Amino acid sequence: MYKFTGFTQKANTALNAAIEYAENLGHTYIGSEHLLLGLLTSEGSVAYTALTARNITADDVETAVRNSVGIGTPTVLSPNDFTPRSKNIIETAVTIARSLGHGYVGTEHLLIAILRDSSCYAMDILDAMNVSAADVAEEITKSVNVSQNDANPKSKSQSKEKTETPTLDQFGRDLTAIARQGKIDPVIGRQKEIERVIQILCRRTKNNPCLIGEPGVGKTAIAEGLALKIASGEVPEILKDKRIVALDLTGMVAGTKYRGDFEERIKSAIDEVSKAGNIILFID
């Protein structure tokens, strides 16, 4: 199963199902029709609920695809086999999520992205089934807005929490909060490293991962990828309420006039981390 960082578990399920459908149908590409099929396998998701409420089933869509495109010999595909149009739909979903201030990309964003591409094959299938794209989009938007409202109390709690960490607020960046605001792009190609960091952080002892590499190889991207996973709830229970704060050592050194100023700032930051109890400090 491929992991799409920044996407919810249900969205990951849908994207992997899209790949599997294309493989089983013997197609050499993963198109918008396969994305639609994938969304119809993610039971309980916003997209699945919106589609099945209109009596759209995976069987009906698959039949339409078989009749129109045909089938071939089952093959093996990867995310590299998404068509340019499918890639554009996925990128549009990321943009939609970011514009809504969501720190994750869900099935709802993927379906809205499909509905916006009126010339894609998935839309041809929905049109043939007399499905109103406007109605589906409106229902999804309502669901998304409810999710946003439910998240507001949490944002207030986070705001209160920040006042208890003034040094970290001044000299650090809360990557988890930034991820929830949709300001961090999905991290591609670092899934193995991110999973390893999660594994180490969940240890009882020896739980301080050290990322080693030349400047620019993607060490910060791994921390951002972890922040995205926390924001979307795709981490073990022990990490779900954690904040990842990237500490700016250069900023802490700047403006220190007297001996001991820097050490005092470091001590204050460490004290705040200890008292908060839910902060993972990322020092670059």
pLDDT at residue 226, as a whole number: 93
30 forms bridges with which residues in the sheet?
A: 82
The number of residues in the chain equals 284
- Residue 53's contacts (CB-CB under 8 Å, 6 or more residues apart) are 139
Whether the pLDDT of residue 161 is over 70: the answer is no
Whether the pLDDT of residue 9 is over 60: the answer is yes
Whether the pLDDT of residue 261 is over 90: the answer is no
Here the tokens at position 167 are 């040094």
> Which whole-number Å values give the CA distances from 143 to 104, 113, 272, in the listed order?
15, 15, 37
Which residue has better confidence, 146 or 73? Answer: 73
- Mean pLDDT of all residues belonging to the chain: 84
Whether the pLDDT of residue 283 is over 60: the answer is yes
pLDDT at residue 2, as a whole number: 87
Whether the pLDDT of residue 68 is over 90: the answer is no
pLDDT at residue 257, as a whole number: 66
Q: Of 16, 20, 24, 13, nearest to 48 (Cα)?
A: 13
pLDDT at residue 31, as a whole number: 93
Task: Delineate the domains of the chain, giving CATH numbers in brackets.
Answer: 9-148 (1.10.1780.10), 166-282 (3.40.50.300)
Whether the pLDDT of residue 163 is over 70: the answer is no
